Amino acid sequence: MFHPLGVDYQLSKYYNLNMESGKILSNGELTGTKGGINSGLGLVFMIDTRDNVVSASRGVFLQTSGYVYNAAIGSSFNYSNYNLTFNKYFAIGRRMVLATNTVMNLNSGDTPFIEMARVGGNSILRGYAQYRFRDYNFIASQIEYRYMVWNKLGFVAFAGLGDVFNKTQDIESEQLKYSLGGGLRVALDSKEKINLRVDYGVGRGNTGVYVSVTEAF
């Protein structure tokens, strides 16, 4: 399946933001902490050759996008946002899959705090809370081994590495965020490859448990 190029418009409004007194956000110096309208126009390019969008065992998923947020289209903020997601899946026999995932999120300009790049979540760098670390940019990559031992039960092992940063020179190897972990898969619908996912991730001083009915990527 191939989707060449599309136009996308995004609109959101931030209001009633409560900041804890005495913390860095409460001084109102960071963009977006006082609320506002985020209005952006962008282009999205996608290639999708996966055999299953819920739990792929072969194929490629590539999505790139770029957005401009500007006062000319009603935005309170002026900045640019660029994103890339690239997944590759390798079937190893009937029951095993090796999957790779790379994600990049770059921002430049007057980026509101809420839209800054962030580490963690239930899809990449599992083991960190999604909003624990923020900065203008984010890049990370992970690999996951999936093995369905029986028709109804399987397990996975994963590892990832990445970080948020302002400028590339800010990236320090000893501060990179790593993610290691594993999980169980219980088939809810074997024909459609819908599994209950339970993952446990360990990061640098952080851990996390994630439950979902779709794979991390």
Q: What is the pLDDT of residues 64-82, one digit of tens each?
A: 999 999 999 999 999 999 9
The predicted structure's pLDDT at residue 173? 80
- What is the pLDDT at residue 141? 98
Mean pLDDT of 138-162: 96
Provide the terminal-to-terminal Cα distance of the chain, rounded to the nearest Å. 18
Gyration radius of the chain's alpha carbons: 19
Instruction: Tell me what the mean pLDDT of segment 90-118 comes to.
Output: 95
Contacts of 94 (CB under 8 A, 6+ apart): none
pLDDT for position 20: 67
In this structure, how many other beta carbons lie within 10 angstroms of the beta carbon of residue 110?
14
- Strands annotated E in 49-170: 59-69, 79-92, 96-109, 117-118, 134-135, 137-148, 153-165
List CB contacts of 31: < 8 A, sequence separation 6 or more.
Answer: 77, 110, 111, 112, 113
Q: For residue range 184-216, list pLDDT tens digits in order.
A: 999 999 888 899 999 999 999 899 999 999 999
Planar angle of CA 210, 193, 216, nearest 5 degrees: 30
Residue 202: the pLDDT is 97
pLDDT of 51 strictly over 60: yes
pLDDT at 24 (0 to 100): 61
Q: Give 202's contacts (C-beta < 8 A, 6+ positions apart).
A: 127, 179, 180, 181
192: helix, coil or strand?
Answer: coil
Mean pLDDT of the chain: 91
pLDDT (average), residues 127-139 = 91
Predicted confidence (pLDDT) at residue 102 exceeds the cutoff of 60: yes
| pLDDT of residue 26 exceeding 60 | no
Which of 66-70, 116-120, 149-153 tops mean pLDDT?
A: 66-70
pTM over 0.75: yes
- Mean pLDDT of all residues in 135-153: 95
**Contact residues for 131 (Cβ-Cβ < 8 A; gap 6+):** 118, 120
pLDDT at 115 over 60: yes
Cα(11)–Cα(73) distance, integer angstroms: 10
pLDDT the model gives residue 171? 81
